[in-house]
Chain A
Amino acid sequence: GEDVEQSLFLSVREGDSSVINCTYTDSSSTYLYWYKQEPGAGLQLLTYIFSNMDMKQDQRLTVLLNKKDKHLSLRIADTQTGDSAIYFCAERPLSGGYNKLIFGAGTRLAVHP
């Protein structure tokens, strides 16, 4: 079935690293995505990873993929107050014809001084 799970809330101190975790169920998913949503706004793509990769780094963002455990994580280095938002993990499964993304419920990241 299609189901993406994330922890609902994460609080970190400014300057620390944040790690947001996600598990997905469909091993056929070819790409996995991280989106960011700020209040009142749509979703902004942060990064994505192809399923044959273990890791992808993009400036302060590091994505780790454990395909065996169907576990995806997003690490944000040197977290800033501007990183406070909701982060969504999404998979792109074969069951959707690879045409749609299935999103988790989102992890709310709160960054405090």
Chain B
Amino acid sequence: DTGVSQNPRHKITKRGQNVTFRCDPISEHNRLYWYRQTLGQGPEFLTYFQNEAQLEKSRLLSDRFSAERPKGSFSTLEIQRTEQGDSAMYLCASSRPSGANVLTFGAGSRLTVL
């Protein structure tokens, strides 16, 4: 069990560019989540996958954001035409079906849009 891995850890980009983040969950976890955390705030839910199916998307996920989990293992979160307001920490978490559905978080990918 190597935990949840996220890459890159930090991305600096210019406004208008596209960025992609990758998340590798714990191997036996079939649920995968993306959250966004801005400075001084708690994580906000973005989207959730069960295996390869994207089951829920937040209103926060505008049409510039797209997430995939093509084979039910790793996931990518792409942001197109980045804006300064997209600057945040993007957190990935995974879990397996259980009563408590405990989420295990990765260290996050910090995005800075100049």
Contacts and interface: CB of A to CB of B under 8 A. Distances in A.
Interface residues on A, range: 20 to 34
Given A42-B91, A100-B48, A104-B42, A48 B100 contact: yes
Contacts of A104: 42
> Looking at B33, B43, B93, B104, which has the most chain A CB atoms within 10 Å of its CB?
B43
Interface in A55-101: 88, 90, 92, 96-101
Contacts, number: 59
User: Is the contact region of chain B dominated by helix, strand, or loop, or is it mixed?
Assistant: loop
Interface residues of B, number: 24
A99 B56 contact: yes
A7 interface: no
Nearest to B107: A42
A99 B34 CA distance: 12
B41 A101 contact: no
28 contacts: A31-B100, A33-B102, A41-B108, A42-B91, A42-B106, A42-B107, A42-B108, A43-B105, A45-B102, A45-B103, A48-B102, A50-B99, A92-B101, A99-B31, A99-B55, A99-B101, A100-B45, A100-B48, A101-B43, A101-B103, A102-B45, A103-B42, A103-B44, A104-B42, A105-B40, A105-B41, A106-B40, A106-B42
